[in-house]
């Protein structure tokens, strides 16, 4: 019997679907269309994993949380798993590039492969792929859309940088 279940919550980034399997979070999707693929629909209240994930995401988006401590399981190939693990080491308020991640994983020429793994990240925000930018500092692809990526990066922007903006 499957223990996969999901709930959809309203957030400042739009409807967000959280997916759990057993006692771990396995998905966080914006504007998900195919929610039946995520198992049984349930309310977050009464489900310890979904309730905790919803609370932590809400706290994060309100600026009251800088990291997550909910158990995660992101299914993918070995390389994607290495990329996602490296992403979790990028601190709140900081960014990295595809090339920097590739170098950290042992080969700077793997930057495109890193990008593909980021595009397959099933647990957006909790595994912070929004913290990866282009080598020139530009915003690049994000499964949740560049507007959401920009908003997430602005949320995490250090106060001293935010205070020095001219606009």
Specify which residues 127 forms β-bridges with. 124
Q: Contact, 107 vs 130, CB < 8 A? A: no
Q: pTM, whole model, 2 decimals?
A: 0.88
Rounded distance between C-alpha atoms, residue 166 and residue 87, angstroms:
30
pLDDT in tens, 51-108: 999 999 999 999 999 999 999 999 999 999 999 999 999 999 999 999 999 999 999 9
Q: Which of 80, 129, 133, 152 is catalytic?
A: 129
| Topology of the domain covering 78-157 | Arc Repressor Mutant, subunit A (1.10.10)
In terms of C-beta density within 10 A (0-12 exposed, 13-18 middle, 19 or more buried), how is residue 69 classed? exposed
C-beta separation of 73 from 28 below 8 A: no
Within the chain, which residue ranges are assigned CATH 3.30.160?
A: 4-61
Q: What is the pLDDT of residues 75-88, one digit of tens each?
A: 999 999 999 999 99
CATH code for the domain defined by 4-61 = 3.30.160
Is-contact 57 18, C-beta < 8 A?
yes
Among this protein's residues, is 129 annotated catalytic? Answer: yes
């Amino acid at each position: 019997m499957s223990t996969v279940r999901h709930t959809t919550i309203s957030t400042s980034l739009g409807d967000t679907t959280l997916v759990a399997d057993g006692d771990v979070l396995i998905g966080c999707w914006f504007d998900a269309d195919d929610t039946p693929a995520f198992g049984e629909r349930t309310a977050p209240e009464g489900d310890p994993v979904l309730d905790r994930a919803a609370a932590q995401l809400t706290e994060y988006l309100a600026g009251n949380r800088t990291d997550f401590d909910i158990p995660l399981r992101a299914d993918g190939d070995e390389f994607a798993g290495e990329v996602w693990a490296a992403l979790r080491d990028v601190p709140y308020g900081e960014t990295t590039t595809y090339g920097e991640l590739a170098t950290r994983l042992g080969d700077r020429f793997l930057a495109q492969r890193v990008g593909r793994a980021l595009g397959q990240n099933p647990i957006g925000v909790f595994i912070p792929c929004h913290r990866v930018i282009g080598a020139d500092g530009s915003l690049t692809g994000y499964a949740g859309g560049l507007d959401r990526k920009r908003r997430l990066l602005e949320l995490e922007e250090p106060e001293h940088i935010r205070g020095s903006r001219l606009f």
